[in-house]
Structure 1
């Protein structure tokens, strides 16, 4: 062992010992397998490295705190040692947010899984950030309530903190909102060990809000440890509608008419022909071409009114009624496309370049990305539009390279070049980097393009909270951390 290796080992032992005193020595590890697990997520890069039996960029030590006070103490220790901190919930993200390119501490938050309260008067729930979203949903369902956040990652252990850290969406976001819209307040641990809680409600005039600053920060400002979320009554009824259109443009115009009339279906999913065919390979819908599926839910009388009105709007816009069965079948099997057996996997190269924009830009955005993938990149392209806003919508589109380079380095380089091309189109067309998967490490290099001079404002806010840049470094495009030597 060289003198430097000896010094590094001594510093690591000191870090492990201090962390063990806080979280319990049984909840600290330096085992390679545990560190690899903590670094892994569902990004293509992580899956490709694992497929080729190549190492992921890992932390030096894993710590699993049991409560918010322990999280704050871990951050204090990290600052004392100059060690980066990489938070992780269920690891269901797709943007490389759990990679640890600068080493440090992998912070496993899954022990923060308690439900503190379910308020049936105010329709709120307060729970730890590490709770599995499916477990939380089951608990509030027993009270006749729902969080109504149903992400495709639900079966992969997605957690409440992950919902908020990446500004995630569930399939019913058109009516119920994204996770950020459901959040009333959060508790968070900030460096170098402060615990803060935002006001009890998000709607106030008490100055700028910490809540919208922490939500979407992906662990780069601190660690969300607890959240109070809005709930809704379980719907009394659901109705399903399905329509066909001659072109994607026709479908977009019809969906726009629904939204600008201010109807709020729980779900509205418009598939292009390739997207419908891809879905049909997993869920037998019995339809093809350009397909719009709609789900309305809530009070029976409102559902009846809304579904009839939406049907009239869509038919008037050129939609052909296909009845309720395809949409009902999709709803009942909605998680099937995201299961491990059905999801794409390496060596295929793939990516979801979802973005949102205003209605006037959607047709151009779709055409440009489809053309770039199929004509310029020689890959496959599928798309659907599935999160709708009063002003626009999200395009959930994917590229697939079925015969990638065998060499892992070449495959990684091709993956990144495709992202460069499609992200440039997103931004040039007036869309944003991402709608609901977050930025992580994968999209960080585009943040200056997204924000312009505003990015320096964001970086300045981060420096004021985390002057050494130790919180989840390498994510959101922020500069490299100020590291202590060695760890």
Structure 2
């Protein structure tokens, strides 16, 4: 209904908007409903390049008609009921730290801000499980857990940018130590969610069972397109007794990939393996203070002192087998202490510079080929635009790893339409190179609006099954429409 109102809000199409507003106020109170354009823009904005670029150009981000801030699951139920009654979109928002346009509201509707739902409900120290509301920010929870000698070992780059528990799970997020402790999808045990037309469901109390298909992992990664996650139970871990640091230089990125493969396939489990190509190694030197050594790998192992001693020794042997040269523990420790520096104010890329982060995930057998293909595609096909490609490898699995790779164009076109078109072409070329060489769309940033067009090429006929699930859960298509490639609300066109 975006753009359908009238100035007086008393007659014509504006009357309906006024009616909806009054019902929303009845649900959450007048102070928690806003139609102020500044509030709506704040709700729609995220950390995507397009969002930052539109703001830089004094242009508007696609925004909702109402910003609503519930405090309880019951209030979320009522909001979704109102949205279902009027068949208007609901766009959930956590901390707004996403990078894929997931908070954009191209079809208007309700921006549902979960920031007031930020309570810790229970810390089960016997089972090492925390239950909390979806709008709770990670650092706030971590401070309370650390007092008990515990941690939710999930430290994403967005950790200090407002990332919330619900956002962790809704986008299948990864943290710095995911190589050992898993992604958010591995740490979540149970969720409560409100689904259309305003019903609350709870997944089973445990994630491992033989009681049919799993509702939990259907909601994980759904980015608000199936319902609104309101409460979560997450696995905890004890704070480690000790940490050990390693660092190595390699002749090239491919030798570094081989070292990581040897570490993971020998079933060692360091908390961190970060491998930087020459361009990203140079940036790391500028931002964190590590020495430039060409291709750089930093490693952190944690746990008991005996475990750390065993793993660091075994990893050193394998890294040297892959032509690595030890740089000692200090480089790794410097990296750990400065790991959030690349996200500090003034260090993240910003418009007018153009940039985009792919974060491709693949098997070990495909990683080197993907890196080579994407670097060549970006720097060759967009040579006239001066495009650059850099990469590091951040998260590792027993079967492969992910490439946190990024393109830069320092002097994009001044015209916004031309600039956004160039941005999209760079994404087209980079994603095609990934998919053609065995990669998956991404590992932890999610899909949002930006990458929705790639879902069908990635999944083939499987995407039709996903659409079937979406249609069954959300027959009117009101839940975060336009995201994950699911298209507009039912019956609505551009």
TM-score of the alignment, normalized to the shorter chain, above 0.5? yes
Structure 1 range deviating more: 31-40 or 133-142: 133-142
1:190-209 superposed matches below 5 A: 190-209=195-214
Matching of residue 468 in structure 1 with residue 485 in structure 2: no
Equivalent in 126, 129, 140 of residue 131 of structure 2: 126
Change (3 A) 1:243 1:14: same
Structure 1, residues 16-73: CA drift from partner, whole Å, max 9, x if none?
A: 1111111111100000000000000000000000000001110001110001111111
Q: Distance in 2 between matches of 1:285 and 1:333?
A: 9
Matching of residue 298 in structure 1 with residue 315 in structure 2: no
Q: Distance in 2 between matches of 1:305 and 1:162?
A: 36
User: How far 1:108 sits from its partner (Å)?
Assistant: 0.3
SS of equivalent to 1:238: strand
Q: Distance in 2 between matches of 1:415 and 1:447?
A: 18
SS of equivalent to 2:160: helix
Q: Distance in 2 between matches of 1:49 and 1:28?
A: 25
Matching of residue 394 in structure 1 with residue 399 in structure 2: no
Q: Distance in 2 between matches of 1:228 and 1:462?
A: 24
Equivalent in 339, 351, 369 of residue 346 of structure 1: 351
- Partners of 1:155 and 1:339 within 8 A in 2: no
Structure 1, residues 274-301: CA drift from partner, whole Å, max 9, x if none?
A: 1101111111102320011100011111
User: How far 1:359 sits from its partner (Å)?
Assistant: 0.5
SS of equivalent to 2:356: strand
Q: Distance in 2 between matches of 1:484 and 1:276?
A: 48
User: How far 1:485 sits from its partner (Å)?
Assistant: 11
User: How far 1:483 sits from its partner (Å)?
Assistant: 5.9
Match in the other structure for 2:418: 410
Match in the other structure for 1:331: 336
User: How far 1:7 sits from its partner (Å)?
Assistant: 2.3
Matching of residue 155 in structure 1 with residue 160 in structure 2: yes
- Partners of 1:39 and 1:98 within 8 A in 2: yes
Task: Specify every segment of 5 or more residues in structure 2 that has no aligned partner in the other structure, as ranges.
Answer: 1-5
Q: Distance in 2 between matches of 1:483 and 1:233?
A: 51
Structure 1, residues 127-148: CA drift from partner, whole Å, max 9, x if none?
A: 0000011101111111100101
Change (3 A) 1:255 1:49: same
Match in the other structure for 1:38: 43
- Partners of 2:10 and 2:18 within 8 A in 1: no
User: How far 1:8 sits from its partner (Å)?
Assistant: 2.0
Equivalent in 42, 45, 50 of residue 55 of structure 2: 50
Equivalent in 434, 439, 448 of residue 440 of structure 1: 448
Match in the other structure for 2:3: none
1:23-422 superposed matches below 5 A: 23-378=28-383, 379-422=387-430
Q: Distance in 2 between matches of 1:321 and 1:478?
A: 48
SS of equivalent to 1:369: helix
- Partners of 1:84 and 1:483 within 8 A in 2: no
Q: TM-score, normalised by structure 1?
A: 0.98
- Partners of 1:235 and 1:297 within 8 A in 2: yes
Q: Distance in 1 between matches of 2:329 and 2:7?
A: 70
Structure 1, residues 350-389: CA drift from partner, whole Å, max 9, x if none?
A: 0001110000011100001111122221211110111000
User: How far 1:482 sits from its partner (Å)?
Assistant: 2.2
Change (3 A) 1:85 1:309: same
- Partners of 1:278 and 1:382 within 8 A in 2: no
- Partners of 2:9 and 2:17 within 8 A in 1: no
- Partners of 1:38 and 1:58 within 8 A in 2: yes
Q: Distance in 1 between matches of 2:233 and 2:412?
A: 45
Aligned length: 486
User: How far 1:479 sits from its partner (Å)?
Assistant: 2.4
- Partners of 2:7 and 2:14 within 8 A in 1: no
User: How far 1:82 sits from its partner (Å)?
Assistant: 1.1
SS of equivalent to 2:200: strand
SS of equivalent to 1:424: helix
Structure 1 range deviating more: 101-110 or 332-341: 332-341
- Partners of 1:79 and 1:191 within 8 A in 2: yes
Structure 1, residues 210-245: CA drift from partner, whole Å, max 9, x if none?
A: 000000000000000000000000010011000011
Structure 1, residues 91-135: CA drift from partner, whole Å, max 9, x if none?
A: 000000000000000000011100000111100100000001110
User: How far 1:2 sits from its partner (Å)?
Assistant: 9.3
- Partners of 1:287 and 1:326 within 8 A in 2: no
User: How far 1:5 sits from its partner (Å)?
Assistant: 9.4
Change (3 A) 1:244 1:197: same
- Partners of 1:81 and 1:484 within 8 A in 2: no
SS of equivalent to 1:187: strand
User: How far 1:81 sits from its partner (Å)?
Assistant: 1.0
Structure 1, residues 184-218: CA drift from partner, whole Å, max 9, x if none?
A: 00000000001000000000001001000000000
- Partners of 1:182 and 1:230 within 8 A in 2: yes
Q: TM-score, normalised by structure 2?
A: 0.97
Match in the other structure for 1:480: 488
Q: Distance in 1 between matches of 2:146 and 2:94?
A: 22
Structure 1, residues 304-358: CA drift from partner, whole Å, max 9, x if none?
A: 1111111111112211000011111111011110123110000100000111000
